[in-house]
Amino acid sequence: PARRRPRAVAAWAAMTGLAAVLGNVGGGAAIQYGSWRSLFWYPVPLAVAALALAWAAAPVVPRHPRPLAPGSTALLTGGFLALLYAVVAGPQSGWTSLPVLVAGASAVLLLVWWVRHELRAAHPLLDPRLFLRPAVRAGALGMTALFTGMFGLMYGNGQYLQYAKGYGALEAGVRLLPMAAGLLAGPRCGLLVERLAGRRATAAGGMLVLASGLCVVSTVTAATPYAVYGAGAALTALGCGIATPLLSHAMLSALPPERAGAGSGLQSLAREVGSALGIALAGTVVTAVFTGHLPAVLRGPGAPGTVAEARSRSTDPQVREAVVRAFTDGLHAATLTLAALVVCTAVAVAVWFPSGREESPGERPDARGTERRTAPASARPGGTARD
């Protein structure tokens, strides 16, 4: 029901981010007490339990009347894979190298082809015309930026806490628990702020809180107390917890009930694309700055690309300290880049986010973003439940 939907979406949003944080803790334990292979085994019993729970508790709904769209799925997936490859390979192979140029051109070609295919399809996988609705644009773009910022930070979490601060794998994972607290507190804080400032200001404000957390992390060095880093990580998660439920609810409210599946799928797409872009973008910036700031004895052809590899090539304490400093320089650049991206997106979200009342059940937006009021099926000649 509409009155319960905001809290339900808030709980769902909190669990989505919380799973990522707890995965870092579980992953740290698996690495410290097992091997990297155990990372692929410990989620199996959790997945089986979740499958059994879904089988028992998920409501049974009618089958979706639309056919599958393997062609559209292949175009969309291939386009994003090519884009991510270009972003990740750019610093190592060179932005003008043939593989990167081919991947970038392929990404543009495949995604444009996907849009044309969807506009002509009788049953599109994801109708691009949905983005004509400001609330859908705000929700999709905002959620992508939120997860780009949060997962970009997660890319550097383990390396900073282990190599700069000297913690073990499990200790590093445990020290990310402030992020879990921020994600759990975020939805409740958002509900409180919403009563004072409204949904639009709260959604954009949550994104700015996330950006402020990234800015705090951009100041850390090896000598910075953990409390400062923990505060920055917690602020990042708090901002995600504040904004995600509002963006999700706005997106679902902008779609008619029969398109709820498309809205849910679009949210999943935004989260996954944002997560992948965050890791790719942070990795690209960190690697580029790190290799450029390495001490002279480690530069040149075959220069190390990671902190572990660079430290293994020298036993000189000053060189090893310079390696860590080169990494924190890269972390500074990456977090500031991510923060700027989130701030720019927050401005767009503030413009597009709906400020009026929610749609009533009697209003049904059509595929092009306009609204039309329809009478109940029983009140129209020949009307049926399917209509």
So what's the pLDDT on residue 359? 42
One digit per residue, the tens of pLDDT, for the chain of length 387 reads 777 877 777 777 777 777 877 888 888 888 888 888 888 888 899 899 999 999 999 888 777 777 788 889 999 999 999 988 888 887 777 778 899 999 999 999 999 999 999 999 888 888 888 888 899 999 999 999 999 999 999 888 888 999 899 898 888 888 888 888 888 888 888 888 888 888 899 999 999 999 999 999 999 999 999 999 999 999 999 999 899 888 988 888 888 777 777 788 888 889 888 988 898 899 889 988 998 888 888 887 777 878 888 888 888 888 888 999 999 999 999 999 999 999 999 999 999 988 754 443 333 444 444 444 444 443 444 443 333
- Global pTM value: 0.82
Q: Which amino acid is at 77?
A: T
So what's the pLDDT on residue 372? 41
Span 301-334, pLDDT tens digits: 777 878 888 888 888 888 888 999 999 999 999 9
So what's the pLDDT on residue 373? 40
Domain spans, the chain = 1-36+133-357, 70-125
Are 219 and 228 spatial neighbours (Cβ–Cβ below 8 Å)?
Answer: yes
End-to-end Cα, the chain, rounded Å = 22
Are 181 and 17 spatial neighbours (Cβ–Cβ below 8 Å)?
Answer: no
Copy the structure tokens of residue 188. 């409740």
Q: 372 by DSSP, 3-state: which?
A: strand
So what's the pLDDT on residue 376? 42
So what's the pLDDT on residue 109? 96
Please name the residue ranges forming H helices in the chain.
5-33, 43-57, 70-93, 98-120, 134-159, 169-174, 177-197, 199-217, 226-253, 260-292, 307-312, 317-352
Q: Decide yes or no: CATH 3.40.50.920 for domain 1-36+133-357.
A: no
Number of other residues whose CB lies within 10 A of the CB of residue 384: 8
